[in-house]
């Protein structure tokens, strides 16, 4: 996993700082974009191996739109969607099967309450 580059796209600066530090301590290179408008530009400039993407940024569904845009331009770039939608609304947005996950244009989905270890394990699973 050393040398792999992860791009975190999230408007929550504290989340980005905490998870970036944790992932760097695990040997990953980490970059950040702080909103949907920066996302594709950041991908083009840092060429990440994987994207961790918040669903709720500028708008309730910004992350879904960004993931669709990313997958249309970079279909092989893995995306992990992370969200607090379930916590904030009480609605369960987790995909129930692979087909629902694919409709979200994501390779994995985690609740934002997931620990840094949970995120790292998912990254390891995806990147091998």
Complete edge-to-edge strand list for the sheet that includes strand 108-111: 29-33, 5-9, 50-54, 79-83, 108-111
Beta carbons within 8 Å of 33's beta carbon, 6+ residues apart: 7, 8, 9, 39, 41, 42
| pTM of this structure | 0.86
Residue 86 has pLDDT above 60, yes or no: no
Q: What is the pLDDT of residues 2-49, one digit of tens each?
A: 789 999 999 899 999 999 999 999 999 999 999 878 888 999 999 999
DSSP 8-state symbol, 7: E
DSSP 8-state symbol, 109: E
Residue 92 has pLDDT above 60, yes or no: no
In whole numbers, what is the pLDDT of the chain averaged over residues? 85
Q: Which domains does the chain have, with CATH numbers?
A: 14-127 (3.40.50.2300)
Residue 60 pLDDT: 54
Residue 94 pLDDT: 62
Contact assessment for residue 33 and residue 77, using Cβ atoms and an 8 Å cutoff: no
Question: Cα–Cα distance between 10 and 34 in angstroms, integer?
Answer: 5
For residues 65 and 42, the model is more confident at 42
Share above pLDDT 70 across residues of the chain, in percent, rounded to a whole number: 79
- What per-residue string of b and e applies to 15-34 under the rule 16 or more CB within 10 Å gives b? bbeebbebbeebebebbbbb
């Amino acid at each position: 996993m050393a040398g792999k580059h992860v791009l975190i796209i999230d408007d929550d600066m504290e989340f980005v700082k905490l998870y970036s530090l944790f992932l760097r301590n695990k040997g990953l290179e980490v970059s950040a974009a702080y909103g949907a408008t920066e996302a594709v530009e950041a991908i083009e400039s840092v060429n990440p191996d994987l994207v961790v993407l918040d669903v709720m940024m500028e708008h309730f569904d910004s992350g879904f739109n960004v993931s669709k845009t990313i997958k249309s331009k970079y279909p092989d770039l893995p995306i992990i969607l992370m969200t607090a939608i379930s916590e904030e609304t009480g609605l369960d947005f987790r995909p129930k099967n692979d087909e629902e996950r694919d409709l979200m244009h994501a390779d994995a989905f985690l609740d934002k309450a997931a620990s840094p270890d949970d995120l790292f394990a998912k990254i390891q699973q995806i990147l091998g």
